[in-house]
Amino acid sequence: MKNLLLLLFAIALLGCKIGDKTEKEANAESKPNVLFIYVDDLRPELGIYGAKHIKSPNIDKLGRESSVFLSAFCNVPVCGASRASLLTGLRPARNRFLDYTTWAEEEAPGISTLPELFKNNGYTTISYGKTFHHTTDNKQAWDTIWSPNCPNYLTAENLKLNSVEGQRGLPYENADVPDNSYKDGKLAEKAIEKLLELKEDNKPFFMSVGFYKPHLAFNAPKKYWDMYDPEKINVLKAGFKPSNAPEEAFHNSGELKKYYAIPKEGFVNDTMAAKLVHGYSACVSYVDAQIGMVLDELKALGLEENTIIVLCGDHGWNLREHGMWNKQCNFETSLHTPLIVKMPGYKARKIDDIVEFVDVYPTLCDLAGLQKPVHLEGNTMSEIMKDPEAKSDGIAISKWFDGVTVISGNYFYTEWISDTDSIYARMLYDHNTDPVEMNNISESPELQNLIDSLSTIQREHRGKDFWIDISRSRAPVKF
């Protein structure tokens, strides 16, 4: 009898342990993980977006399994401000989220950021690479913060040029080195190691992996440059810009002009332009390969089935369109961004609805089953991901200092607004007839009713705190 009681006790104890483990595993599985992949300066110029000349097989594969938003737009076309806006769920204001120097915790104090919300709901939160522009911005949101420490340049030529005070190296590098010689290769390796650790921890996680390329300088291992034939690189005509657009629409490509061999005034020549386009393409393929390794490991570890994957750029980028390089303007090339969201159990498809980056925060709340904070200014995309018949509100708002753009249907309308909310310049493009924005039709008399309507929409959607004063200078940072 004694032995029988001991046996029953042992079975009950074992059952509790098994039950506890099962409950823990079930709890982890009930909370989907999030893998957030940020790619700096990534245009929607990828195979999955119809760009046949770009080699991006891993992002394309992810896209074939995901919701691919074909008409996604950033709210600010510069990295620091764009990331702060997306990760707080707040639109830029007159004096908030202006440029790359933005700190979210200073310009939106007291706001629960996206990673902070997940941390407060029991998630392990990890930031590897570049999530916020400043690594320690909103550091309380993360359990782990890490960024790779290695030089941007590797060749003797660029190391020598970059060593001169006040001077950078060339805006590109083609070095015959392994992938992990540059930051993004090291970042992918570290992310893979962390995924194995997270698998063993068996807790839900929110992991951001922020890749640095294709940001300038266009430095990538030689094998990625070799994927592209320099004789087949297409380069836009120098100075090709609309004559009837306001001067406020343009900048002098100052970010590029920090680099050696780039003229301080005027346009780069065709030879340099071709080298830059080649380098940008090589960097896209390089970062695509690193993303592929991380996604492959996620699948190999059995985590893919319970992980929401988000991949996005932080804004668009100009490759000589309108005579400009870099971002920092209100043309579509600076505002249009890739956005890919994979939700386990959802059918993959391409979505044409207009969405914007402030929609990402509420969407992840819905997909993960978390209560949305009251401060959010975007709309969830979860319904249009799930239901092909559902529609977004069809509006996106982007801002670069005084220029505020509303994207509605096929129209891109921008007003440059003074402190008194008066319009001192404007431009309008109809993408049905002018997809590359070469003919500003904002002064066409027959379109004034349309322009009035777009102006009203812009004011209604640009954010309730648009005139907030956080004592920031409105002058753009000089590059």
Contacts (Cβ under 8 Å, ≥6 apart) of 75: 82, 85, 86, 91, 92, 97, 356, 357, 358, 396, 397, 398, 399
Smallest Cα–Cα separation from 390: which of 361, 363, 430, 358? 363
CA–CA separation, 11 and 206 (whole Å): 37
Closest CA to 318 of 216, 439, 428, 173: 216
CB atoms within 10 A of CB 74: 30
Helix (H, G, I), strand (E, B) or coil at 426: strand
The H or E element spanning position 395 is strand 395-400
Q: Which amino acid is at 46?
A: L
Catalytic residue among 16, 53, 74, 133: 133
Spot the catalytic one: 16, 53, 74, 79: 79
Whether 79 sits among the annotated catalytic residues: the reply is yes
365 catalytically annotated = no
Q: What single DSSP character describes residue 24?
A: H
Q: How many CB atoms lie within 10 A of CB 11?
A: 10
Bond preceding residue 217 cis, omega within 30 of 0? yes
Rg (CA), the chain: 24
| Catalytic residue ranges | 79, 133
